[in-house]
Chain A
Amino acid sequence: MNTSFGETGQTHSKDSFSISVVLKEGPLSKSWSQAGTTSDFVAEVLARHGAKSGLDYTETRHTIVYLVNELLENAIKFSFPGDVQIRCSLEDASFELSVINQIDPEIVPNFQALIQELTSRDPGELLIERIEANAADEESSASGLGILTLMNDYGVRMGWHFSNAVAGSGVVLRTQAYLTFH
């Protein structure tokens, strides 16, 4: 299986300023607080670098923390045995993030249907609609709201690539996010 949704190409050159972190399979890849710790760390490094070329430190740092934290929370929430890999890069004002993790093949169809819905319409309208639906339903898990806030409130462009794992029984999900700072 090789299926893609949205924007999934890697556009930054090899000499862009980048940072990679791997949360090895085990307690780290399943620990909720790891999303916060890791996102604070990568955002601090990239925002300090960006500030040297004129990017606003506070805005850059905060946005990267929010973005990395949301995608890592999802990776941890749907964790399946395997490492979680994070790669962030900054080239001038353009930021690129990929998060690679394995997910349970059983959740793939529902997740792909959700992605199709999230990317089919105006994210601002969908965000309000889904918040209303979540509030009306006590059992709702509010899925997709994080992604919609990224797309609508932060202007992030997203992509998802699914492929079969070489070893193990999970499906490899690569989530891509792109953002240009102003």
Chain B
Amino acid sequence: MADSKIKIIRVGTASCGIAAGSDEVLKAIRGRVSQDVSVEEVGCIGHCYAEPIVEVVTSSGEEIAYSNVKADNGAIDSVLSLGNEFRFEIPRARAQKECIKVTRLAGKIVPTSIEEYKANGGYSALAKSLSSTPEWVIDEVKRSGLRGRGGGGFPTGNKWHFLSLKKADEKIMICNADEGDPGAFMDRSMMECVPHQVLEGMLIGAYATGATKLFIYCRAEYPLAIKNLSAAIKQIYENKLNVLDGRSLEIIIKEGAGAFVCGEETAMIASLEGKRGMPRFRPPFPTDRGWMSFPTLINNVETFANIPLIISEGGDEYAKLGTLTSKGTKLFALAGDLKYPGLIEVPMGITLGEIVFDIGGADRDSVKAVQTGGPSGGCIPVEHFDVAVDYDSLRSLGAIMGSGGLIVIGKERCMVETARYFLDFTHRESCGKCTFCRVGTKRMFEALERITGGSGTEDDVKFLEQMGPMVRKGSLCGLGQTAPNPVLSTLRYFRNEYDDHVKKRQCAAFQCNALTDVAIDQKNCIKCKLCIKNCPVNAVSDDFVIDNSKCTRCNTCIEVCPKNTIHRVKRGEGYYSSSPEVKNGQN
């Protein structure tokens, strides 16, 4: 039989795998293998570009991975015969630079199997904690130097220490799983792939701090994460792992309802109380007065996922990795203009260049900047890619570590449009409590709309420079305080692009529609008429000239042209014979 040597087949069925078609692959494989082969649904190993990924474990214990396994491309034949086609090798540069610790079990075990998690060392850190004192646990976390992975970077051990000192009938611990930054999916991946690891971290935290009620506030957009966490919580109850030192803990999942500001801790608490998720002034800090006035501690998913590792190997050992002020590893969600997007785990102190070029496989000549920290972060230009990544160095560049979204921006993108995009997001997500955030971000957005819309002036640019720091100062919570970052950082590093828009009425990236025309290169056009047939507004004439007053810049003709002869060009200048260079040329 073809599959006689195969013992286990693991199919990656996290959200990204499913989106790539792993559901059908799973079904097809199940239909073709014999009873004695165990077909498992596992999480993701972080190589999203290669999804769907299938891993085979042979009777001799060898693990062979296959990538791009679709139900209909013949890859399954190769998998089942242990063939050489479709075999997956981790790109060498990535294998060298990555440091897999926290994500060690992701994609290797069935997420909802407590037995598999235990067989791989799971819950031993909890047992180790329970055999020692809460003070010892807090001390280990302090020694590890772990800082909040949600972006704030507050020392986790200190936070735990504050809560442990409180005397109250109930103490609350909240896991912030409201990963709202567009472009970030680290927490989703951890919850989907290793829910027990996150929960073990929470249980250890509850033991150390005396918390009695544990909430997980998860985005409703992550149905699979909620499903896997719920299954894991059920197993915890069944195994009585929620009984610590005679105290029985309650673990509750609450689904968010789509408000970015709820990632801020006081807003999250309000939301968990069933109210509008608006932040409030601190102090009192949540550890003094939080959910329903009880002392409350909030940590991020990734922070909790680090805890079992710290307890197992010891705080001092953990702290050996990283920089002076930032210890351990960090997960990044790598996406954008690069070859190998995915979830990566790297040691603190790695350079941006190593992440983008070596691990991400981005082309050195085509990258302009990287955007860290989502709408709260900033754009860092390629000249600064030698900086070592930690909380403090990124802040000094006008960006932030944030939760770990890392978007690579290619040279063909417009930075003003990128800033406009982020302000579009933040001005809509502002809860409206603080005037500077509510009105200031809106006015900044309007100025950016004018600039990208072709009617901006130098005064608009000056206005952005003035208003940015005011919004930062005049806002209560992190949303408003960081909302100007994308604008201020692009103004700092890409001022020339703003000037081009307002002085020359030009978008060098040909991205801003109002400053761009679409034109056909008559010399190379083969008159196939596909553009004429497909144009939704009949803007292409019978002699292959585009009427730019009709054209909506929808790019349809550019997509359908078989000879790549249609391009976006500078407004009013028709077609350049040198257009491809002009299109890609920057500044």
A and B held together in a complex = no
Binding site for A on B (CB under 8 A): none
Binding site for B on A (CB under 8 A): none
